[in-house]
Structure formats: C-alpha cells, structure tokens
Amino acid sequence: MASLYEEQEEACQIFLEFDKNHQIKETKKPDDLQCQEGEGGKFYDITGQSAKQVIKTLVTIINDPCKWPTVKSITEEVKAFYFSIKSQRNGESIEIIYRLEPRPTENQPGNGLSYIVYLEGEKYEGYVKPYQKLIPAIAKAPRKFAEDIQKLFKDNSAIVQDIDLVVKEMYFLFLFEIARRRSNEENKTEVGKLLDKLPIPSAIASIVKLLQETDTERVDEDTLLKTLKSYFRCFGFENTDSCARKEAIIKLNDNIKKQSRSDLPMLDACKKQLEEMYW
C-alpha cells in the first residue's frame, strides 16, 4: 500500500501536467509606472488568475528557451520578468509588481530570485527574503495568513484589500517554488531529478491547512515558529539535500494525518486537496 507521501507525489504530477501549447501573452510596461524598474524586461499581467494559472504562466516561461537561459547561456545582463496584479481600493486602481530573475543552476535549471519591486503606487525597496525571515510574521497571525493566502490563490486581484505584506511576499514565492520544479531540461542531474519529484504543491497546501487549524489560544507563537521552521525545510534553507526536504514533508504529513477525516481513497484525497487550494 502506497504511503501518503507517495500518493502526494503522484497527485502532484497529475495536477501539474499542463498543456505544452499554452501561450502566455506579454504586455508592455505600464506607462504610469513611477520608477525605472523593468526597463528591457518582459511584463505579464496576471490579474485575476488563479494560483494554478499563475503557475502555468511561470512554467511556460521557464520552458521557453528564448526567454529562460540555461546555466551555460546566462550572463550578468540577463533580462528579468515582471508580473503585475491590479486591484481596486476606494475606486482607485492599485498595482503590485513582482520581479523574477533567472538564476539557473545545474541541479535546478528553473531556479530564480523573486521579490516585490512595486507596491500600491510606488517603488518598493524589495529584496530576496529567505523563508526564515518571513516565518516570524506568519507565526504572529497564522489563521489570518492561511485565510488570506487561500483568498489570493483563488483570485489574486484581492491582493491589496487588507492583506498583510508577508502574505503578498509569500504568495509569489509559493507559486514560483512549485513552478521552478517543472523545468523540461533534458539533461537534469540526479540531484535535480530528486528535487523535482518532491510534492511541493501538497506540502504548501498542508502547511496552510495546519495554520488554518492552529488554536492560537493553546499554541504560543514561539512553539509555532519552531514548528514552521522545521516544516519549511521542505523548500530547503541552505542546500539541495532532497532527503532532508523529504523528511520535512513526511513530518508534516504525520501531523496532518492526525487531523484528516477524509473518506476518499488517499490519492483522490490528495488530488482534491490540490484542486481546492490552487484552482
């Protein structure tokens, strides 16, 4: 009988089988953008797209040899990509823009750096933040984080409506964390193949479920912070150790299984969880 982890692997592979002919339309740099950010880069308007649609957009870019460089072809002048989400607040149009810089490696050809560069009408001095820098803010309001991230996964145009900054930052990090594993590079290293098999979409969904069901009256912030740091190791803090990342997901699964009450077969339950989270 397959383990929950193995069923998650299969469910994620099925869920992320995208149409290879899917075409993503570029858009021009907004005329009213009040900063020089994006000169020479490629812009995409992802307003209103579900999480799965955004992931599909990212995967299509990563697998376009005319857009995404290989380890051998990358240069210091490589062009970045920009993803715009527009929203309304008090009748005014508000925009947030994410920057994605390709940083392919031998083990992770879909690797890149992502951060916010434009936030609600002005340039934002964003920078690449490791997960451990963001986790403390999540631990302060776990249930609100879970509620808001799910809201954005359904329709990201709600991104400026009473949503904390950490949610806005984590939103794109989560989706790119999934997309970067979908590179079609033919000559992947053995380490790269193991990393790409990790059921990251399921792990993210389980972390959100854990946060959603956190009893803030019984679990103090320090305890939750320690727990989250152990679970977030499934994305890797320092290295590309697929075994350590797999162990983090299994540990997370052991916690989630205690709370699960699904009557569906395990694989179907895994697929349902992905559909509910990302679509």
Specify the pLDDT at position 240: 67
Contact by Cβ (8 Å): 185, 155: no
Q: Please measure the distance between the N-terminal and C-terminal CA atoms of the chain and give it in whole angstroms.
A: 29
Contact criterion met (CB below 8 Å) for 85 and 54: no
* Domain range summary for the chain, segments of one domain joined by +: 4-278
Please provide residue 9's backbone torsions phi and psi, each rounded to the nearest 5 degrees: -55, -50
Residue carrying the six token digits 């794109």 = 172
Please say whether the beta carbons of 80 and 41 come within 8 A: yes
- Pick from 158, 118, 107, 110: which is nearest to 36 by CA? 118
Query: How many Å apart are CA 230 and CA 257, to the nearest integer?
Result: 17
Taking the C-alpha atoms of residue 159 and residue 271, their distance in angstroms, rounded to an integer, is: 26
Q: Which two tokens stand for residue 42?
A: 């490629």
Q: Which two tokens stand for residue 213?
A: 């069901």
- pLDDT by residue (tens digit) across 220-264? 889 999 999 999 999 875 566 789 899 999 999 988 766 556 677
Per-residue pLDDT tens, the chain, 279 aa: give them: 678 999 999 999 999 887 666 667 788 766 666 555 556 688 999 999 999 999 999 999 999 988 999 888 877 677 899 999 988 777 777 889 999 999 999 889 999 999 999 887 778 777 888 898 999 999 999 999 999 999 999 999 888 778 899 999 999 999 999 999 999 988 889 999 999 999 999 999 999 999 998 888 788 889 999 999 999 999 875 566 789 899 999 999 988 766 556 677 889 999 999 999 998
What's the pLDDT tens digit per position in 126-163? Answer: 788 889 899 999 999 999 999 999 999 999 988 877 88
